[in-house]
Amino acid sequence: MKLNCRPPAWLRRVPRPPGGQFLLAVPVIASRPLAADSISQVLSNTTLWIIGILAGLATLMLTLGGVRYLLANGDPAEVEKAKTALKSAAIGYALAILAPVIVIVLKGLVGG
């Protein structure tokens, strides 16, 4: 028993190999290999990564602190843990904001 199903329109325009029912089309994008032109570009890219990671971790800590605070039910030890998580989130956001400044200082030290 042979199934006679038609492929989607975008696939019908692609020539099929001889004897093949369907062709798996995978786009190949030719790009430069992962290389940087200068140390300045490496530091700029690193800055963006640092900011993203710090902001993500700070958001996670803010969420965990908020959930802990809600679930504390007045228990002083749990409230203190929640406050510590919220302080950690504030420190994380401060570091994310200061990351570009830190990288500029590093650029000055390296000579970039």
3-10 contacts, C-beta under 8 A, 24 or more apart: none
pTM for the predicted model, two decimal places: 0.56
- pLDDT tens digits for 5-53? 776 666 555 555 566 555 555 555 555 556 677 877 887 788 888 888 8
- pLDDT tens digits for 84-96? 989 989 988 888 8
| Confidence check: pLDDT of 63 > 90 | yes
Enumerate the H helices of the chain as residue ranges: 9-12, 39-71, 76-110
65: nearest Cα among 46, 84, 52, 50: 84
Under 8 Å between Cβ of 54 and 89: no
Choice among 20-24, 55-59, 81-85, 98-102 with the minimum mean pLDDT: 20-24
The CA–CA distances, whole Å, from 22 to 2, 9, 26, 29, 88 equal 14, 12, 13, 22, 54
